[in-house]
Structure 1
């Protein structure tokens, strides 16, 4: 399936591709993207590359879940890249004197309450910096009932508590940006989507870009289902129901993302001459205000000093990267995250190497390797389970005289797979997701093979345990029952 996807990758038409005189080689870009799609299992990918105020390249590769070619004008969600847009909207209001970044959120959202009295001290800047103290651990926003609007998101947050004093630690959570979206609404007097369209998207020229409240309910018909990945197959799937506005609700195209990258690399000045925010505010958004963390306001900085932000849905992933030399790169892929694949960041890095004159190094197909390992573990669990079931009679005969407590201890480990299955969302969120919240349904999107292995191991072990207990009980009853006299004995006693 992966090979078939790679074979089907095609570059979009020349009308979808904009070049400047220093444009990267088209064939080289195609090779890098095709190779990544083959390894990572992405049916469709859109790319934008800029430098300074010039669009060097926009293009699409592969297909969407309806079979249509992905082009530079195909609308796709950019997930948490949306936070960069929300931060810019708040900065616009701050420049207009309507918001003070270091003022409490309560000054602008009088109805904002959380279940921790320290919440009254959370500032606007701390929302954007992800330092409010709210975490996915203190407020598991993905597992809770999903609001339909930013106003409902504020109401839902009343159950949140804090993991730290506001402003003292960095904890990434979507809730901070849900609250920021509502702040924009209240301060501007406009619905968040309308504000973004009138004051951010249209001034830049991003006329194909929108932002939505909830998935999949609010997705336009032009946005096709993305994909989940399992055992080398890409399977179309609707995004789970989630509230996303402010945090990861922007739907855009590669062409529009090129305009966004130019605005960021041009100190807040769009290619059409429109200024969105001041150069100082762009720098502030790109820069962490504290050495203890690297996150600024809607943007992060990596170890090489590059400014970036990725985006993750369960059916789409994205990344944006600003290089010190003035290059900007945006990538959107129509497949979700999973074990062995944390998005399209690796592709962005390869393209960054390409445009700066280096030779991109292809990695191993980790996504497929991980799923094949899980498939082997699933098969092994079945084989071991069948073997143990076939040995039940011998096992029961050999241990029939053992004390019940010792038998219980011997069988107890067979409950471990069940405990693992139940705790898997929390365990995976802590070990792999950095403490992020994930529901069981979303876990099935993230890694169906992992869930399948855990479920099969649970069923086989519970089955073995149940059959062995039944065999032991029957064996003991037979041993304790008085012998039934046969006919000859009865005649002899008459």
Structure 2
């Protein structure tokens, strides 16, 4: 299915099933579910507070409705009448949301979002489907039925953060039709954490969701190699031949050259769902070198796949288990792991031409180069850990943040001297995703972009965002 860019799925239906039965809490008994078919009234609380509604929520044709202005304001939005658009205008976290009474359409920053249930006027008050309003305001909904009443609790968006310092950056992302999740921090203080665009056909992107990382995965792979070196389980000057005999030039390709993209190994490898890590390494081994090891920087996904194999051989553990033991658990990165179908992440989208986007198919990668998922909060903790010795020694971090070629690439990071300081950064991509991460060492800005549209130039986005920060 294709849609207008950032206007994904114009016929969007929001899980507003909106019959009282659709508001049941998980696990409600069948008897209770049957009882809800006769629900005729709704009690709606916001933030745990009982509301003295001027216009009471009501059930209409099996749908729970709430007064637009009253509910939206209590959920933190500013509401006014837009006479030019002849619509109610809601503003929250920098977003502009429009709705015209009598329609099932909300416009979020100019993009249509259809709810499947039209609003209506009752005595001069616009009543809208509760779940539709909760979706556009990214509020949480909980409900349980009792007798002929459904008791609904609404909690305002407690995840999104937008400070005055990041107002220009936020406006820029909206203008660029960026889709995905963004975090901006200065030091340890989060200044912007926000979702943009659509996450599948039934919801907007929320800022606390998991996303594929693309090549931001390489920072974990490089750190794992350095951890194993600290543990005395490998050396950076060891040849590839010691781990995987028979590679072209394997006696001259060292772990250091693999980390710094100076190995000369062909960067391409087969991306087959049924290929194991060893199968993929065998396919990489069958290709001739592109250049003499150490002679030229060639960004090589294949090199980092091979590093994942070395990590497994040196540690005696799987790639993911070693990362979990060494980094994810010590740092509390509970939202980070190896991608698999059972772990939901934000929906990725690929270009379908003429500013059209379609849901991406399976994103197949291999350990070491692009297999991980994470959240923006976890990635902030991860990049901040490199300014401590929580998981790596300072000497190892210095090696990672040292440039080894004219491309200013270290181990899993690019390094640049700017404004009298050091900035480390990387970008990534994969089917349906485009990512980027940057940190100014010593208390400067951190930028994290976990985008869900293929092809976005996240390096340029990060450069432009930085220009719009104090």
TM-score normalised per structure 2? 0.63
Task: Indicate the residue corresponding to 1:63 in structure 2.
Answer: 198
Task: Indicate the residue corresponding to 1:176 in structure 2.
Answer: 303
Q: Secondary structure at the match of 1:119?
A: coil
Deviation at 1:354, TM superposition (A): 2.2
Distance 1:11 1:202 in 2: 33
Distance 1:125 1:157 in 2: 18
Residue from 390, 394, 398 that aligns with 1:279: 394
Q: Secondary structure at the match of 2:384?
A: helix
Q: Secondary structure at the match of 1:247?
A: coil
Residue from 153, 165, 176 that aligns with 1:25: 165
- Aligned residue pairs: how many? 322
The question of 1:296 aligning with 2:296 is answered: no
Q: Secondary structure at the match of 2:250?
A: helix
Distance 1:122 1:147 in 2: 28
1:24–1:57 CA contact under 8 A, matched in 2: no
Deviation at 1:223, TM superposition (A): 2.1
Deviation at 1:24, TM superposition (A): 5.2
Gaps of 5+ in 2: 9-108, 113-135, 139-155
Matches within 5 A, 1:382-461: none
Query: Cα distance 1:228–1:199, how it changes in 2: closer, same or farther (>3 A)?
Result: same
Distance 1:169 1:24 in 2: 45
Deviation at 1:253, TM superposition (A): 1.1
Give per-residue Cα distances to partners, 1:299-348, cap 9 Å, x unaligned. 113585632110011210000112256221110111112xxx4x322222
Task: Indicate the residue corresponding to 1:132 in structure 2.
Answer: 263
Give per-residue Cα distances to partners, 1:370-392, cap 9 Å, x unaligned. xxxxxxxxxxxxxxxxxxxxxxx
1:105–1:122 CA contact under 8 A, matched in 2: yes
Task: Indicate the residue corresponding to 1:327 in structure 2.
Answer: 445
Task: Indicate the residue corresponding to 1:223 in structure 2.
Answer: 345
Query: Cα distance 1:333–1:297, how it changes in 2: closer, same or farther (>3 A)?
Result: same
Residue from 317, 337, 343 that aligns with 2:434: 317
Give per-residue Cα distances to partners, 1:27-70, cap 9 Å, x unaligned. 43431221121xxxx4x320122233333332222221233221
Give per-residue Cα distances to partners, 1:204-249, cap 9 Å, x unaligned. 221011124xxxxx33351244111221212112135x33211011
Higher strand share: 2
Distance 1:204 1:18 in 2: 23
Distance 1:14 1:350 in 2: 27
Matches within 5 A, 1:204-223: 204-212=331-339, 218-223=340-345
Give per-residue Cα distances to partners, 1:167-199, cap 9 Å, x unaligned. 221111111110111111111111111111221
Task: Indicate the residue corresponding to 1:141 in structure 2.
Answer: 269
Residue from 359, 363, 381 that aligns with 1:259: 381
TM-score normalised per structure 1? 0.60
Query: Cα distance 1:145–1:234, how it changes in 2: closer, same or farther (>3 A)?
Result: closer
1:239–1:313 CA contact under 8 A, matched in 2: no
Task: Indicate the residue corresponding to 1:411 in structure 2.
Answer: none
Higher helix share: 1
Residue from 187, 198, 211 that aligns with 1:52: 187
Q: Secondary structure at the match of 2:407?
A: coil
Query: Cα distance 1:145–1:253, how it changes in 2: closer, same or farther (>3 A)?
Result: closer
Gaps of 5+ in 1: 213-217, 270-274, 358-494
Give per-residue Cα distances to partners, 1:421-450, cap 9 Å, x unaligned. xxxxxxxxxxxxxxxxxxxxxxxxxxxxxx
Who wins on radius of gyration, i.e. which is larger? 1
Task: Indicate the residue corresponding to 1:245 in structure 2.
Answer: 367
Q: Secondary structure at the match of 1:306?
A: strand
Give per-residue Cα distances to partners, 1:61-114, cap 9 Å, x unaligned. 22212332212221111101110111011111111111111111233x2x4422
Q: Secondary structure at the match of 2:438?
A: strand
| Cα root mean square deviation, aligned | 2.5
Residue from 227, 233, 236 that aligns with 1:98: 233
Query: Cα distance 1:163–1:11, how it changes in 2: closer, same or farther (>3 A)?
Result: farther
Residue from 133, 156, 159 that aligns with 1:16: 159
Distance 2:314 2:6 in 1: 51
Structure 1 stretches of at least 4 aligned residues deviating more than 3 Å after TM superposition = 2-6, 8-14, 23-29, 53-57, 144-147, 302-306
Q: Secondary structure at the match of 1:246?
A: coil
Query: Cα distance 1:103–1:147, how it changes in 2: closer, same or farther (>3 A)?
Result: farther
Give per-residue Cα distances to partners, 1:145-167, cap 9 Å, x unaligned. 56633222222222021122212
Query: Cα distance 1:66–1:257, how it changes in 2: closer, same or farther (>3 A)?
Result: farther
